[in-house]
Amino acid sequence: MSSFFSDLALQYIDGEWRPGSGSWDVIDFNPYDEEKLASITIATAQEVDLAYRAAERAQMKWAATSAYVRRDIFERALRIIEDREAEISDAIVAELGATRGTVGFELQLAKEFLREAMQLPFRQEGRVLPSPVDGKENRVYRLPVGVVGVISPFNFPFLMAIKSVAPALALGNGVVLKPHQHTPVCGGSLVAKVFEDAGLPPGLLNVVITDIAEIGDALIEHPVPKVISFTGSDRVGRHVATVCAAHLKHAVLEVGGNSAFIVLDDADVDDAVEAAVFSRYLDQGQVCMAANRILVDRTVEQEFTEKLVAKVRSLVVGDPADAGTHIGPLIDFRQVEAVMGLVEQSVEHGATALLRGGADGNVVSPSVLSGLAPDASVLAQEVVGPVVLLVPFDGEEEAVRIANDTPYVLSGAVHTGDVERGIALARRIHTGMIHVNDSTVHDEPIVPFGGEKASGLGRLNGEAMVEVFTSRKWISVQRGRSVVPF
């Protein structure tokens, strides 16, 4: 077992590894075999305050640091991850229950986001704007917002923490990171360790492992952070947005999806099946971009369905540490019960289970459901588990109507033999991101990432990071005597 779980089962505040002072512990379990990995005494509201104050103190000097010095730290962080990749991979498999393939996907993206972070210090470009007043110069500077609070999810924990933490730091901010209680090490303290070893000045990045039951809204109400970057459930995301609005903070939210994967009548069925299976079953379906609904034109429905079921039936279910495993455990038994309940409820209401998976501990075998009623509640919500919902349609108009009949619109996909036809249809789907002849699960460091409607607020990645984690400051200069009206 990785030494991370013994060495990093602590809070990281102001450059010091220290136990929390709360009255209870977060118990970190392996969701596959339920082995106890670590016990971490939670942080209190007082420690949240200490973390934010440390970030605030360290940030002012950091903001004045050369862009080249900042870049060097991210280069070293990347090398550390590359050097310890096998150990980091083992830790994520153990803590999250992610398969080897999923972890490889996660770490490759994490490295790409660090490479992008290296460039961000050089993108805080100012502008000089003209003025109607003679002798006046208008300068607009890009400055760090100050301190950013990051609340990261359990799925893709290492990547999702780095995705906000790295650009916020690169652009001159301090950060306080609260990882999910199910992944406190890989989503929290391990990230801090990487940056500590890379030479990040103490206090700039702080990790508090805690729970709302202990701290309430202290993390988002605190007066120091100017931006809260949150990834998680719709219910919690709405609460975060409400509290941020009340305290005049900027919230960036990614709160889930209900992606439609659309197969048109001229699609390459074999390619579509491969992409659909990846889109639905990556990380056991615990992915915000996962294809919840597979929409198939009736002209290819039978062929697609037969090939999809055969492909899903071939997936290996079991120990995520085995290289050949495709589907490992869900994060906890509560999620297992939720997924199994959705399948049972759907079948009771008339759906046909072409495959119906059972549960063995936290491992849930895949299910494929068809024959769902148009108003079935499962079609309107995010299913966080290995369940495919097959929905036939007649022609493009119906496909668009069905795809848009959900409040959660993060990602999507369209498969067709005519790329321009696919693009035209994709433009009509109300979603933040959509992919033609590919999977629904994509993230790249320089393209805007985010959803529409109830799937979140704002965008991350690339230039969007500069927009989110910096603010504009106008400084005017009057050369010569100013002219005033009185």
Q: Which of 439, 431, 383, 377 shows the shortest CA–CA distance to 408?
A: 431
The DSSP secondary-structure symbol of 460 reads: B
Torsion of Cα atoms, 28 then 382 then 276 then 362, to 10°: 30
Give yes or no: 244 in active site.
Answer: no
Residue 412's alpha-carbon distances to 41, 149, 434, 464, in angstroms, are 40, 29, 4, 21
Within 13 Å, how many C-alpha atoms sit on residue 292's CB side? 27
In angstroms, the Cα distances linking 153 to 168, 186, 395 are 17, 11, 38
Which residues, in sequence order, are CB contacts of 231 under 8 Å at separation 6+?
151, 152, 153, 160, 164, 253, 254, 255, 288
On whether the CB atoms of residues 363 and 329 are closer than 8 A, the answer is yes
Catalytic residue among 95, 196, 214, 254: 254
Q: Which residues pair with 177 in a beta bridge?
A: 150, 207
Whether 254 is a known active-site residue: answer: yes
Rounded to whole angstroms, the Cα distance separating 165 from 465 reads 11
Alpha helices per DSSP H over 282-390 = 301-313, 333-348
Residues 6 or more apart whose Cβ sits within 8 Å of residue 146? 56, 59, 173, 174, 224, 225, 226
Long-range CB pairs of 482-485 (<8 Å, 24+ gap) are 482/133, 482/136, 483/133, 483/134
Strands (E), 243-355: 250-254, 259-263, 291-297, 352-355
Other beta carbons within 10 Å of 381: 16
Angle at 41 between CA 230 and CA 81, to 5 degrees: 55
Q: Do residues 44 and 215 touch, judged by C-beta distance below 8 A? A: yes
Q: Is 338 in contact with 349 (CB distance < 8 Å)?
A: no
Select from 243, 279, 236, 281 the least CA-distant residue to 260: 279
- Smallest CA-to-CA distance from 365 within 347, 339, 342, 383 is with 339
Measured at the CA of 158, the angle between CA 153 and CA 159, to 5 degrees, comes to 85
Spot the catalytic one: 288, 301, 303, 463: 288
Tell me which residues are annotated as active site. Answer: 254, 288
